Amino acid sequence: MPPVLSVKDLSVSMNGTKGMVPVLEHLSFDVAQGKTMALVGESGCGKSMTALAIMQLLPEDFRVTSGSILLDGVEVLSASPKELRSLRGNKMSMIFQEPMTALNPLYTVGNQIGEVLRQRRGLSRRDAHAQAIQFLKAVQIPAADKRVDAYPHQLSGGMRQRVMIAMALACKPKLLIADEPTTALDVTVQAQIFDLLSELQDDTDTAIVLITHDLGAVAELADDVAVLYAGRCIEQGAADEIIAHARHPYTRGLMACVPHLQLGRAIDHLAAALDEIPGMVPPLGARGPDCAFLPRCAFASEICRAQPQPPLDRINAGAAVSCWRHQEIAPGAMA
Amino acid sequence: MNLVLHVSKQLANAFGLLLAVLVLNFCLIHAAPGDPALVIAGEMGGASADVIAALRVKYGLDKSMLEQLFTYLGKVTTGDFGYSYYFNEPVLGLIGQRIPATLYLVLSALAMSVVIGTLLGIISARKPNGLFSQGVTVISLAGYAAPVFWTGLMLLLLFGSVWPILPVTGMTDVARPKAGLAYVLDVMQHLVLPATTLGLVYIAQYSRLARVNMIDALTADYVRTARAKGLPEIIVIGKHALRNTLIPIVTVAGLQFGHLFAGAVLVETVFSWPGMGRLVFESILRRDYPTLLAVLFFSAVLVMAANIVTDLVYRLVDPRIRSGGR
């Protein structure tokens, strides 16, 4: 079966004062029905721009400069505004990081869920309202028949994000893009939202692109993962493979940044102590052809400095990495 | 908060304010130079000192100011605003004739400036650096900078003599019928120039306000959400962005109601519009204190009524206010 979403060689640039500045370079990935692809990385690595490029909702100064985005066989990049409107909501939808500002404060949540149904399915106001209650129940909002008439400010953060999810799934899209859906929420609520997403995915077989910097969520939810750094994919593959055998120094650094509760026993290559990656992501426009992680990399050597960043090198069926020294520095190979 | 409770609180506030307006205006007018008895004597074609003294006694002008104030307040509570010694009729009747004209003028100027200004602002927000947007900016600033009476005089010249297609004085044409649709059309025709003159200043303000708020709204997350839902652009803008843009406009429109009254004084004078503004002007010139006091009082009543209405509209537009939310 062909993948629901197929992104090939996608590059996005920002039209800045100094000309076009690349923010995302040559990203490729596929997401199959019922599967979850996680895009992982620090702020400013191009995750959200990938999501917005797929939705064709890039901010004004941003442009897709190359590549192709096939959604259910339809090329999104060449779709007319009318085709795009019918793709959005129907075939793909998105939930955002900040559920307070992503919902319109002036309309009830029922109105905001129902308007999609009225537009798309031609439902009457009353039917859309009744359906909205069903969707609120589906995202496990208690007293859904009362909450449907609530305004966003009357709901908690977790509730609002549930409303966003209900809204996104209202037209049963084939693809759901979740852009850091839990970043603005309490830790306990985060887990609930991830559980909900995973349950809904089991029911509806929706393909999910999950954008996150939460590696715990990746381990729990994702089938595949792509690690982005400074707009480039530096490691990509099956989620369990990458988490068990991270090869790129950056991915390994990210893992070391996650607090582990099993402090009693060391987890093989992961240090028990909480680590940090020194330095910062290079700013836009300051990214040369060489490895963008070079200035922060503990393993950098002459070959890294002499050569441009290598393309993704396929290690095995489940993993690919972009690092000159990944074999030398692999955990087993280290002295 | 309960709506009834809220409105009653506002009404109580308004009542206190109106009392203050009455007392303050009364004192201010008494502090101003000029003697009504002399003016009346002047109208009579001159009078001896005895006659002037008799006039003072007749109108109670010989009593102390405090005594005059309490007499006035006492009469006002019974609905008696006195007798105009210039117009020779009871003040209340005079005001009753003038209030509709002023309301037509002020409300149509307000409606025009809010609707046109908001539309211009919204259209220019679509392309903030485009030619249309810059044109609106220039015209807005010109409209805002030009004094009302000057704009009025220019329009009067233009449509009175250069291109005489619109009536330039009064509210009705003596030759036309005084009832039915023909009357309504007649008044509307006479209303065009005064309302445009008064509205122009505010079109500038509303277009700026709508433009900046629309630009804000168009980059808001909820507009991105609406687009992500695949809603047609007309709903994205007309429903999601517009209502958020309207909140500050409603606020400003309510606050500006008082300004519009002040502007109406000039406009009514320029276009001989038979409203309260001209009545203020005439009663000041004639030292017709009972009329002046009553006009000021009823202007205050209208402004306060406008504020209460604004508040209610505001609650209608923004649910966060209704529920006293965060």
Task: Identify the closest residue of chain A to B229 by CA–CA distance.
Answer: A89
Quote the pLDDT of residue A269: 52
Closest-CA residue to B79 (of B91, B94, B88): B91
CB contact under 8 A, A85 and B231: yes
Which residues 182-221 of chain B have a CB within 8 Å of chain A? Answer: 219-221
Please name the residue of chain A whose CA is at the shortest distance from the CA of residue B317.
A106
Residue A273 confidence (pLDDT): 57
Residues A93, B225: C-beta atoms closer than 8 Å? no
The separation between the first and the last C-alpha atoms of chain A, rounded to the nearest angstrom, is 45
Percent of chain B with pLDDT over 90: 26
Closest CA to B60 of B44, B71, B50, B48: B71
CA distance A234 to chain B (A): 29
**pLDDT, tens digit (0-9, with 9 covering 90-100), for A5-63:** 999 999 999 988 878 888 999 999 999 999 999 999 888 788 889 999 999 999 888 99
Instruction: Give residue A335's pLDDT.
Output: 42
At A260, is the pLDDT very low, low, confident or very high (cuts 50, 70, 90)?
low
Q: Is A299 on the interface with B (CB under 8 A)?
A: no
- Give B219's contacts in chain A (Cβ within 8 Å): 59
pLDDT at A129: 95
Write down the mean pLDDT value for chain A.
87
Sorting pLDDT into bands at 50, 70 and 90, what band is B182? confident
Interface probe, candidates A104, A118, A160, chain B, greatest B C-beta count within 10 A? A104
Higher pLDDT, A152 or B258: A152
Q: Running DSSP on this structure, what letter comes out for residue A318?
A: T
What number of residues does chain A have?
335
Q: Which of A12, A22, A11, A32 is nearest to A209 (CA)?
A: A32
- The nearest CA of chain B is from the CA of A87 a distance in Å of 7
- Residue A237, sorted as left (phi over 0), alpha (psi -120 to 50) or beta, turns out to be left
Average pLDDT on B119-146 reads: 88
Angle between helices B180-218 and B242-270 (to 10 degrees): 140
Residue B117, pLDDT score: 92
- What does each C-alpha distance from A294 to A209, A274, A284, B234 come to in angstroms? 28, 22, 16, 48
Share of chain A above pLDDT 90, in %: 46
Q: Are A34 and A207 in contact (CB under 8 A)?
A: yes
| Residue B69 CB partners (closer than 8 Å, separation 6+) | B23, B26, B27
**What does the buried/exposed string (b/e) look like for B18-45 if buried means 16 or more CB atoms within 10 Å of the residue's CB?**
beebbeebbeebeeeeeebbebbbeeee
Can you list the pairs that B172-179 forms with residues at least 24 positions away whose Cβ atoms lie under 8 Å? Answer: none
- In sequence order, what are the beta bridge partners of A321? A235, A313
B127, two tokens: 């392309």
- Asked whether the predicted pLDDT for residue B311 surpasses 70, the reply is yes
A262-283: b (≥16 Cβ within 10 Å) or e? eeeeeeeebeeeeeebeeebbe
Residues contacting residue A62 through CB under 8 Å, at least 6 positions apart: A12, A13, A14, A15, A23, A49, A52, A53
CA dihedral A317, A322, A325, A331 (to 10 degrees): -50
Which residues in chain B have Cβ-Cβ distances shorter than 8 Å to A57?
224, 227-228
Residue A65 above 90 pLDDT? yes
Q: Using a CB–CB cutoff of 8 Å, tell me whether B222 touches chain A.
A: yes
Contact between chains at B230 and A167 (C-beta distance less than 8 A)? no
For residue B311, the one-letter residue type is D
The answer, yes or no, to whether residue A267 has pLDDT greater than 70, is no
In A, which residues are within 8 Å of B220 by CB distance?
Answer: 101
Q: Measured between CB atoms, does B127 come within 8 Å of chain A?
A: no
Strand-pair category, A36-40 with A224-229: parallel
Per-residue confidence (pLDDT) for residue A259, from 0 to 100: 66
- The nearest CA of chain B is from the CA of A5 a distance in Å of 17
Are the C-beta atoms of B198 and B106 separated by less than 8 Å? yes
Number of neighbours of residue A207 by Cβ within 10 angstroms? 26
* Beta-strand pair A175-179/A207-212: parallel
CB B260 within 8 A of CB B251: no
The residue with tokens 């690092």 is A323
pLDDT at B325: 42
Of the pLDDT bands very low, low, confident and very high (cuts 50, 70, 90), residue A103 is very high
Q: Which residues of B touch A164 (CB under 8 A)?
A: 225
Half-sphere exposure in the Cβ direction for B192 (13 Å, CA):
12
Count CB atoms within 10 A of the CB of residue B63: 14
Please state the rounded mean pLDDT for residues B205-217. 91
A234: tokens are: 């530096």
C-alpha to C-alpha distance for B260 and B280, rounded to whole angstroms = 14
Q: Test A88 with B228 for CB contact under 8 angstroms.
A: yes
Secondary structure tally for chain A: helices H, strands E: 12, 12
Arithmetic mean of pLDDT, B221-245: 92
Phi, psi (5° rounding) for residue B84? -80, 120
DSSP-based three-state secondary structure for A309: coil
Q: Does residue A109 sit at the B interface (CB-CB below 8 Å)?
A: no
Model pLDDT, residue A178: 93
Comparing A18 with A83, the larger pLDDT belongs to A83
CB contact under 8 A, B231 and A151: no
How far apart are alpha carbons A237 and A222 in whole angstroms? 11
B169 to chain A, any CB pair closer than 8 A? The answer is no
Decide the pairing of beta strands A5-16 and A19-31.
antiparallel
pLDDT above 70 coverage of chain B, percent:
98
Percentage of chain A with pLDDT > 70? 93
pLDDT tens-place string over residues A163-193 = 999 999 888 899 999 998 888 888 888 888 8
Q: Are A228 and A39 within 8 A, CB to CB?
A: yes
B176/A contact by beta carbon, under 8 A: no
Query: A210-235 pLDDT, tens per residue?
Result: 999 888 888 888 999 999 998 899 89
- Asked if A96 lies within 8 A of B224 by C-beta distance, the reply is yes
User: Considering only residues 126 to 185 of chain A, which have any Cβ-Cβ distance to chain B shorter than 8 Å?
Assistant: 151, 153-154, 164, 167-168
* CA nearest to A206, candidates A189, A185, A223, A227: A223
Asked if the ipTM is above 0.90, the reply is no
For CA atoms B51, B52, B53, B59, give the dihedral sign. positive
Contacts of B235 in chain A (CB under 8 A): 115, 119
CA distance A258 to chain B (A): 30
Q: What is the pLDDT of residue A45?
A: 84
Tens of pLDDT, residue by residue over B90-119, are 999 999 989 999 999 999 999 999 999 999
The pLDDT confidence band at residue B324, using thresholds 50, 70 and 90, is low
Contacts of residue B68, defined as CB under 8 A and 6 or more positions apart, other chains included, come to B26, B30, B60, B61
Per-residue pLDDT at B201 exceeds 60 = yes
- Give the per-residue pLDDT at A282: 80
CB distance A105–B319 less than 8 Å? yes
| List of chain B residues whose C-beta atoms are within 8 Å of the C-beta of residue A93 | 228-230
- CA B21 to chain CA centroid, nearest Å: 17
The pLDDT of residue B326: 39
pLDDT value at residue A265: 52
- Backbone Cα Rg of chain B: 24
Candidates B219, B225, B326, partner chain A, best to mutate (most A CBs within 10 A): B225
**Tokens encoding B149:** 């009476």
Question: In this structure, what DSSP letter does residue A270 have?
Answer: B
Query: Do A88 and B225 lie within an 8 Å CB cutoff?
Result: no
In 3D, which of B325, B227, B316 has the Cα closest to residue A151?
Answer: B325
3-state secondary structure at position A335? coil
pTM of the model: 0.80
Contacts of B232 in chain A (CB under 8 A): 85, 119
Q: What angle do CA A116, A121, A127 make, to 5 degrees?
A: 80
pLDDT category of residue A332 using cuts at 50, 70 and 90: low
Total residue length of chain B:
326
Tell me the count of A-B CB pairs closer than 8 A.
Answer: 85
Average pLDDT over residues B126-138: 88
Q: Which of B110, B291, B137 is nearest to B209 (CA)?
A: B137
